[in-house]
Amino acid sequence: MTSIGVLALQGDVREHVFALERVGVDAPRVRRLAELEAVDGLIIPGGESTTIDKLLRAFGLFSPLRERIAGGMPVLGSCAGMIMLATDIIGGIHDQQSLAAIPMTVRRNAFGRQVDSAEVELTWQPDGSLMHATFIRAPWVEAWDESVEVLATATGPDGSPHPVAVRHGNALATSFHPEIHAPGAVPDDRVHRLLAELASRA
């Protein structure tokens, strides 16, 4: 069975595990190097990007993870995870590092503070269908290389559309939380299913 780990140092771990299990993959929590080495793919969940950066380095996972992603391991970063996958960060703190998996510039907290969290209907551009998305202190993509595929956009407080879901090879990133759905609603697992497909092919 394909195994996609969820980085379990900080952030929204449990819901990602549930989503991966719904799409039929093993979803171990990853905190140690041996656990990272054992998985076929990885999710970096939402949380606080500066904290995730510090904990990756404290646990000795930063360089090994960066090397695995550079080697083609499928990865999904949601919210703070999107920031971790960017090559450049606007609004980061001094000495904040990223994994540089996707050639893009991401703006931290672009959609506002916690009180500005919102649920938005997006168009999932690969098939033109609607996607219900939850934004919590979300970033957006400010600039990106032409090799980056934009999967969805959303209008920001500035009135302009910004990419909120992107793909670059085996790396996926979303500004929103694809693991979250409204109580009683049917879960939308398209993002996790896409990651599972990438991991099964890799």
* C-alpha to C-alpha distance for 169 and 59, rounded to whole angstroms: 27
Placement of tokens 């140092």 in the chain: 9
* C-alpha to C-alpha distance for 72 and 64, rounded to whole angstroms: 13
Q: Which residue spans within 45-160 are E strands per DSSP?
A: 75-78, 86-90, 102-107, 118-124, 129-135, 140-144, 149-155
Nearest 10 degrees: Cα torsion 192, 51, 65, 70 = 80
* 116 DSSP 8-state letter: G
Q: Indicate which residue of 15, 16, 162, 177 is catalytic.
A: 177
Is 177 known to be catalytic? Answer: yes
Is 168 known to be catalytic? Answer: no
Q: Indicate which residue of 179, 181, 192, 197 is catalytic.
A: 179
Q: Indicate which residue of 15, 16, 79, 162 is catalytic.
A: 79
Is 181 known to be catalytic? Answer: no
* 83 DSSP 8-state letter: H
Which tokens is 87 given?
């090559």
Question: Using N-to-C axis directions, what is the helix angle for 62-70 and 49-58, rounded to 10°?
Answer: 100
* C-alpha to C-alpha distance for 194 and 190, rounded to whole angstroms: 6
Q: Catalytic positions, please?
A: 79, 177, 179
